[in-house]
Amino acid sequence: MDDHITDDLPCYGLYINGSWVDAEGGLMPVNEPARGRTMAYVARGSAADVDRAVAAAREAFDRGPWPHTPGHERARILNAIADLIEEHTAEFAELESRNLGAPLRKTTFVDIPWSVEHLRVFAELATIHPYEALPWTDIPSVSWNFVWREPIGVCGQIVPWNYPLLMTIWKIAPALAAGNTVVLKPASYTPLTALMLMRLIHEAGLLPRGVLNIVTGPGAEVGDALARHPGVDKVSFTGSTETGRHIMRLASDTIKRLTLELGGKSPSLVMPDADLELATDGVLFGVFFNGGQSCEAGTRCLVPESLHDEFLERLVTRARSLRIGDPLDLETDLGPLVSEAQCRIVEEYIDVGKHEGARLVTGGKRARIPGFEYGPFIEPTIFTGVQNGTRLAQEEIFGPVLSVIPYRTVTEAIELANASRYGLGAAVWSRDLQGAIEVAKRIRTGTVWINDHHIILPRAPFGGYKQSGIGREHGIYGLMAYTELKHIHVDLMQKRSGRVWWDVLIPQRDQSEEAGL
């Protein structure tokens, strides 16, 4: 807890059962990374606070109206939440930019509009009828059968720090659309836009008490308590693979439903026929968007040996033209990393790359920005001569660091792309679209972009192969992950005769025997 809380900084409590309440652990600071200073204080939640929130969500699910609210009414409420975000776009964008360090251009034109779009898609999906008919059957008797989808129950949702508002929407929209109740844990680094959203929802009176609860606090306390809590029916977590394993272990005691979107080390395959100008900008966008702080970032660039030198020169020239600086400046391309701790991790990986024998061709050090001397800025960094089996090429760095790896044949490129424990995303750069599609089919990742990167559509499934996670988010795929399936069998004969299986178990006796004659 910070001992120097000042009156001029905003303070946020927990949101439990329709009210703002204090946490047992008091408050903790939230920093503005570009300026290296505290910008707000939020409640330091604990396992006891999680108990309160889960109890409220449990009551709202078991006895409240939300699970039984018609789909069209849930859709109206989700659209109303989208309207609130849209009306406050400028405020959300600035707050997100300050809290995360992301460029204002990105938060204004990507994060906020995409949050609105995801809400509107799930509003539409909320109206899908949960009834699914099965074929009529007369075996073993004439019966009517159907599948009924029901909400799972109380959902514990753990949001990462790299896309705070967008990931909050990714979590709550399908859960609420399906009729569940939620306990949300925002990231400790970047909780402010989720709290602002909750304030707007509360003021508008859009949700019944207990349907959406927010508990801020350290992941080791709040996140762990959600994952192990017997009153939580499903956990959705986005974050590192290491933490995902930990969440799985905690959730296993009560056999919770799980959705995990974890780490990545996505390859960008530059094919021999690629448009090099398009591929250059695309590869750099793939790795440096959001400062490299994206699970699906294209951190491994696979280039034909015959194009290596020319393409590397293009990459370096373009990377050096990127503008690093104040995230609130619309001309900024890269802002600071989210924290000093994350900056040190990236610096350690840069040292690892040097020690492994990779050649640093640009970047590799802190950027000193006048007026932002305390900000954790890292220059766009490119290595070549990288071996695909090294730590630099295999471990998730979560910073603006690109490894360039040459290949001889397309088959080798595909093998290199798949030689990773991760399988979240990949990009293929080629003029031959049919050929690129065939390559995409052979890459073992959840998403493959052709001549693009980072386009995660609200109707398209998103998730990973291998150690990049379990399950899919978005669209109908994401909605179904928040439902339970129930088969209902209705016998239409309503009489005993003709029931072969009853005769096996309870054979009909002679009437005289039954009468005792």
Give the catalytic positions in this structure: 261
CA distance 13 to 92: 19
Nearest by Cα to 382 from 359, 398, 356, 366: 359
CA distance 496 to 262: 54
Q: Which residues pair with 466 in a beta bridge?
A: 422
What residues contact residue 369 under an 8 Å CB cut-off, 6+ apart?
A: 324, 325, 326, 375, 377
Asked if residues 134 and 266 have their Cβ atoms less than 8 Å apart, the reply is: no
Nearest by Cα to 85 from 168, 4, 5, 176: 168
CA distance 371 to 382: 26
Rg (CA), the chain: 26
SS (H, E, C) 257-315: EEEEECCCCCEEEECCCCCHHHHHHHHHHHHHHHHHCCCCCCCEEEEEHHHHHHHHHHH
Supply the DSSP string of 9-51, one letter for each residue.
Answer: S-EE-EEETTEEE--TT-EEEEEETTTTEEEEEEE---HHHHH
Q: Which residues pair with 236 in a beta bridge?
A: 157, 259
For residue 90, what is the enclosing H or E element?
A: helix 89-100
Burial grade of 282 (CB within 10 A; 0-12, 13-18, 19 or more): buried
Whether the CA torsion 57, 154, 228, 472 is positive or negative: it is negative
**Three-class SS state of 83:** helix
Nearest by Cα to 191 from 234, 236, 229, 223: 223
CA distance 28 to 26: 7
Asked if residues 104 and 249 have their Cβ atoms less than 8 Å apart, the reply is: no
Residue 152 phi/psi, 5-degree rounding, is -70, -45
CA distance 41 to 191: 10
Supply the DSSP string of 308-364, one letter for each residue.
Answer: HHHHHHHHHHHHHT--B--TTSTT-SB---S-HHHHHHHHHHHHHHHHTTPEEEE--
